[in-house]
């Protein structure tokens, strides 16, 4: 808004700003990971005033990419438009151990990657959440607790949340690495051996009140291992949604956002982020 054209409206907007407060946590030592962890905490704009209020919690893997998508600006805009209730968001920075710590807890992939996924899961559940619940006013309600991530971070998020539905009621997967497999692609059955699909398929009793949001871009990649004219990332995501529906999850608990021309990069994920946040925390406001 141009101040000289509309000074009154500009001043009013500035006074009503809803920017989150960002705290940078560095050198948080994790005994379970054997390293220091960095993360950013995005507190609601009214956090220091509303002393008696407790807030929903959102954990985000690969949180080092959030500044590249102007995450603070996204939150501010949604708060200003009253399209999002105040939330506490945690952007977890990946380290040089990313390919080892992200993945699936049940097993490594066919190249042996993800062998520290169990330690990362334990860090989330036993160290990070303990710290956050103790230091910040987190509601702790499972329907107000979400885990999201980008690419391999999205795979990690859904793997941990799926195994802990009593903690995480909401999952967000941006361009998820759902191709993660325990054997190389077999041309005779190119869609076989995808680990996360099998984990869901083999799970007995499920909590069908969990809610899942997925996003893919049509330019996420170029690979099409089964030759059906659809890139693998979209195929893998649609197939995983199919597994969830086979387990009894209702359409209203699943959202799939496909972005035409979207790429495997923070720019596209930033474009998708408002949709995820509105759907995850303010379902009634979705158009």
CATH code, domain with 152: 3.40.50.1820
pLDDT confidence of residue 3 = 46
- pLDDT band of residue 123 (cuts 50, 70, 90) is very high
pLDDT of 11 higher than 90: no
Token code pair at residue 89:
């968001």
At 274, the pLDDT band (50, 70, 90 cuts) reads very high
Within a domain: 236: yes
**Which residues, in sequence order, are CB contacts of 256 under 8 Å at separation 6+?**
213, 214, 215, 216, 237, 238, 241
Q: Does residue 13 form part of some domain?
A: no
Q: What is the pLDDT of residue 8?
A: 54
Nearest to 211 by CA among 281, 262, 266: 281
Residue 42 lies in a domain: yes
Burial classification of residue 246, based on how many CB atoms lie within 10 Å of its CB (0-12 exposed, 13-18 middle, 19 or more buried): exposed
Q: Tens of pLDDT along 204-261?
A: 989 889 999 999 999 999 999 999 999 999 999 999 999 999 999 999 999 999 999 9
Res. 105 pLDDT band, cuts 50 70 90? very high
Q: Is a pLDDT exceeding 60 seen at residue 278?
A: yes
Long-range contacts of 198-201 (CB under 8 A, 24+ apart): 199/104, 199/106, 199/159, 199/162, 200/162, 200/240, 200/243, 200/244, 200/247, 201/243, 201/246
- Residues 152, 114 contacting (CB under 8 angstroms): no
Cα–Cα dist 266/263, whole Å: 8
- Residue 2, pLDDT > 60, answer no
Instruction: Say how far residue 123 (Cα) sits from the centre of its chain.
Output: 17
pLDDT(269) > 50: yes
Question: What's the domain count of the chain?
Answer: 1
- Is 10 a domain residue? no
**Quick check: is 222 in a domain?**
yes
Can you give the residue range of the structural domain that contains 99?
18-285
Q: What is the pLDDT of residues 142-193, one digit of tens each?
A: 999 999 999 999 999 999 999 999 999 999 999 999 999 999 999 999 999 9
Q: What is the pLDDT of residue 6?
A: 64
Report if residue 4 sits inside a domain. Answer: no
Question: What is the model's pLDDT at position 16?
Answer: 57
For the segment 114-124, the average pLDDT, to the nearest whole number, is 98
Residue 18's pLDDT is 82
Residue 234, token pair as written in the block: 């979209």
- Please check whether residue 215 is in contact with residue 259, taking contact to mean a CB–CB distance below 8 angstroms: yes
What pLDDT, on a 0 to 100 scale, did the predictor assign at position 17? 63
Which stretch of 15-24, 57-66, 86-95, 154-163 has the lowest confidence by average pLDDT? Answer: 15-24
Query: Are the CB atoms for 95 and 27 separated by under 8 Å?
Result: no
Say what the pLDDT of residue 15 is.
Answer: 44
């Amino acid at each position: 808004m141009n101040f000289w054209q509309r000074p009154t409206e500009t001043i009013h907007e500035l006074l009503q700003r809803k920017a989150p407060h960002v705290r940078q946590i560095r050198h948080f030592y994790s005994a379970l990971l054997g390293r220091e962890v960095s993360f950013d905490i995005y507190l609601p704009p009214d956090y220091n005033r509303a002393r008696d209020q407790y807030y929903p919690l959102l954990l985000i893997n690969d949180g080092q990419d959030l500044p590249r998508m102007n995450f603070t600006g996204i939150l501010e805009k949604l708060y200003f438009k009253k399209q999002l209730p105040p939330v506490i968001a945690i952007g977890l920075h990946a380290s040089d151990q990313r390919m080892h710590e992200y993945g699936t807890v049940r097993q490594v992939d066919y190249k042996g990657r993800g062998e520290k996924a169990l330690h990362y899961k334990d860090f989330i559940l036993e160290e990070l959440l303990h710290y956050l619940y103790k230091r910040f006013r987190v509601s702790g309600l499972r329907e107000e607790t979400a885990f999201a991530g980008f690419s391999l971070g999205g795979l990690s998020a859904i793997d941990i949340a799926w195994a802990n539905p009593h903690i995480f009621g909401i999952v967000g997967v941006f361009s998820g690495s759902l191709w993660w497999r325990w054997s190389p692609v077999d041309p005779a059955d190119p869609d076989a051996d995808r680990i996360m699909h099998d984990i869901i398929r083999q799970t007995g009793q499920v909590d069908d009140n969990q809610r899942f949001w997925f996003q893919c871009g049509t330019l996420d990649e170029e690979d099409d291992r089964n030759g059906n004219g659809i890139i693998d990332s979209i195929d893998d995501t649609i197939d995983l949604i199919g597994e969830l529906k086979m387990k009894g999850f209702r359409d209203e608990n699943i959202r799939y956002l496909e972005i035409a021309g979207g790429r495997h990069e923070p720019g596209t994920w930033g474009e998708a982020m408002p949709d995820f946040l509105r759907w995850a925390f303010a379902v009634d406001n979705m158009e």
